[in-house]
Structure 1
Amino acid sequence: MSHELAIIVLTVTGGVLVFAGLLFFLRPRWLLDWLKGMVVFSLILVGLYSLVIAVNLGSYQPLEGLQTVATISTKRQTEQVWRVTLQVEGGASNERSLRGDQWQMDARIIRFTGPVHWLGIAPAYRLESLSGRYTSLEQERNAPRTVISLSRKLRVDLWQLDRMFNLPFLEGVSGNATFMPMRDGATFDVRISSTGLVAVPVNDQARAAVQFWDQ
């Protein structure tokens, strides 16, 4: 399309749209009915959106600053099979078997923006999974892996919807602790902030494992 033709097409299109819009004012009742319908429709959408946020927040925990959310201890069972004790803050201790040489915890974080943030609603988090990883690339590809779910699945997952459609007034953040080595008797604290997770060694076995691993 030439420059001149583009100008003509845009001019005609703009003129037709403006004229069509002005026709509403010839019948003010139509315009008022349309405006009322739009207002009602907007209220319903905002209400449904608020309900979805409220339902999802019921499965999340409030997040204020940097806080410890879990403690993980590992004990060797057999070669590359570990007995992991997970103590979640405010919850019961849970023991599971984990395969591999390292562990990682994943979480989902929701941060609020705009009007919702102005209401003073704090960010929220939900622990998602605890998984193992092998240091050998061949084992990582072919050996059995363990992923332990730490939360129930939601029919309408606000975090997942935001990742897909970039929802207004909130931001879904993926948080995960860096893979940590599994050693007999090692204990780590898992701490979380609005930007993600961090694992902190809390006893000599864990500190020695991390120091040896970094070399």
Structure 2
Amino acid sequence: MLTHEESIAVIEFEAQDKQSYLARLYESDGDEIGSFQILGDQWRLDAKFVKMKYWSNLLGLDSRYGLERLQGRYSNIDDENSKPHLAHDLGEDAVIEFFTIFGWSPFVDSSYGSSSYTDIDINNRYEVFKTQTGLLIRSGPIPVTEEDEGIVSRVISSVKGAF
């Protein structure tokens, strides 16, 4: 409970031009949220967060979140200050609901924005997790599909046959 992590999104990138990418954002169950142009060499996901008090986590109450924004950023500060920016509203602007007594909640510790960013690598798939205190990103290689395996096998066979 106190160290609970929940997968909330997956994102993959396709290069469009230098420091320009097409990002495909999915819910953790695979449903596509949308495709977005990202400018820069890094990406960032922002969320609004309601952190519950630690003792309320023991009662099974987890932090609440709403994804707000996806955007690119530049690792070089000069690029960040001079190159174009593009941010995308993810539309999760619904009020995060929680139990209150006359407007006060005994379970809520704090309400704030949480953001996480990392470099863009078109060979990686990024998984975004919600923890009790904010967002974190883990990455790994994009899984090879059966179709990809077939292409790779045919290429290897043709290369072997050439020698």
Under a length normalisation based on structure 1, what TM-score does the superposition of the two structures give?
A: 0.52
Aligned length: 132
| Counterpart AA for 1:193 | T
The letter of the residue matching 1:78 is D
- Matched residue, 1:210: none
Match of 1:163 in 2: none
Higher RCO (C-alpha under 8 Å, 6+ residues apart): 2
**Distance across 2 between alignment mates of 1:145 and 1:69:** 25
**Gaps (5+ residues) in structure 2?**
98-103, 144-163
- Report the TM-score when normalising by structure 2: 0.67
Instruction: Tell me the C-alpha RMSD between the 2 structures.
Output: 3.0
Instruction: Report the Cα distance in structure 2 between the residues aligned to 1:153 and 1:204, rounded to whole angstroms.
Output: 30
Distance 1:113 1:196, change over 3 A: closer
Q: 2:28 aligns with which of 74, 77, 89?
A: 89
Q: Which amino acid aligns with 1:151?
A: G
Is 1:144 aligned to residue 84 of structure 2? yes
SS at match of 1:202: strand
Q: Matches of residues 26-45 of structure 1 in structure 2 within 5 Å?
A: none
| Mapping 1:152-167, distance limit 5 Å | 152-153=92-93
Identical-residue share of aligned pairs (%): 21
Unmatched runs of 5 consecutive residues or more in structure 1: 1-63, 160-166, 206-215
Partner of 2:153: none
* Cα shift readout 1:166-201 (whole Å, capped 9, x = no counterpart): x65322133222x21112232111111111111111
In structure 2, how many angstroms separate the alpha carbons of the residues matched to 1:108 and 1:95? 21
Instruction: Give the structure 2 partner of residue 126 of structure 1.
Output: 66
